[in-house]
Amino acid sequence: MTLALTGFEGKVAVVTGAGRMRSIGRSIAVSLARAGCDVVVTGSGKSPDLYPEDEKEAGWRDIASVADEIRALGRRALPVVSDVADPDAVEALADQVNSEFGHADFIINNAGSTRGPDRIPVVDLPVSEWRKVIDINLNGTLYMCRTFAQRMIAQGRGGVMINISTVGSRLLAPATAAYATSKVAVNGLSVILAGELGQYGIRVNVVAPGLIDTSRMDDMGRGDTWNGYVRTRIALGRAGTGDDIAETVAFLCSDQASWISGQTIFVDGGMNGNPLRRG
């Protein structure tokens, strides 16, 4: 028997942080379009000068390129530059989505802070870096959930919210205080929201990726260090892809997941905080 996911026709998805060519957000947006959704894709409006080299060579245009992919699948697309850490910008985004599509059904909170100067011990961590990470990862998720939940409740159509977290919220490794703490809080917030919003037919879940081969991880390189990390810490012996995460998100949005809410699902290939005994 072949299981076909259902529940996407006539639905509108909003995917934040969807502008990078090699990214989880792009894969989620395209996957939901392929399933039958119209899709709103947001990005921060990063300057092309800051794009990864492969994007520059490909003539990549951030969320505009992702929107083109969605339209090529026969679905409507709306690219919007929006800052999830700004509650007014999130309100404006929700108003634009309602104006363009009339409603939103699936909210995928994927936007996150970049790997950067916050990855240091707490005693050396500037308060400004802590606040930056918390503002994007935690506050941004709160603003998106709060704003779109208000509209979902008023519209009476139910809906799904999926917050993208990280295996780091379980590993709690040194030098990840801001990032991991923000995602632990996202996991908790999602359970609370699931309890509050279930009465309105709104489901809330978390997808927590492990090591995913995206441009976000380019600072690790793709040589011996990368291969050693994969070999010793991932039971299934490979890094994940954006599609691995996108397929999980699509399932959680589908009718087949209609009784799943308040869960954190780790999609990490069996990742472990300690080196595994692999040859």
Please give the C-alpha separations between residue 66 and each of 26, 72, 96, 162, 177, in angstroms, as whole numbers.
6, 10, 18, 20, 32
User: Which of 51, 179, 200, 229 does the annotation list as catalytic?
Assistant: 179
b/e 5-18 (16+ beta carbons within 10 angstroms → b) = eebbeebbbbbbbb
249 and 172 in contact (C-beta within 8 Å)? no
pLDDT digit string (tens) for the chain, length 279 residues: 456 999 999 999 999 999 999 999 999 999 999 999 999 999 999 899 989 899 999 999 999 999 999 999 999 999 999 999 999 999 999 999 999 999 999 999 999 998 889 999 999 999 999 999 999 999 999 999 999 999 999 999 999 999 999 999 999 999 999 999 999 999 999 999 999 999 999 999 999 999 999 887 877 778 888 899 899 999 999 999 999 999 999 999 999 999 999 999 999 999 876 555 444
DSSP secondary structure, 177-191, as one string: HHHHHHHHHHHHHHH
β 12-15/106-109 pair status = parallel
pLDDT digits (tens, 9 = 90+) for 106-152: 999 999 998 889 999 999 999 999 999 999 999 999 999 999 999 99
C-beta atoms surrounding 211 within 10 Å: 20
pLDDT on residue 273: 61
- Strand ranges (DSSP E) for the chain? 12-15, 38-43, 77-81, 106-109, 159-164, 202-209, 264-267
DSSP secondary structure, 19-56, as one string: --SSSHHHHHHHHHHHHT-EEEEEE----GGGS-HHHH
CATH fold of 12-267: Rossmann fold (3.40.50)
208 and 179 in contact (C-beta within 8 Å)? no
Catalytic residue list contains 179: yes
Average pLDDT of every residue of the chain:
94
Three-state DSSP class for residue 164: strand
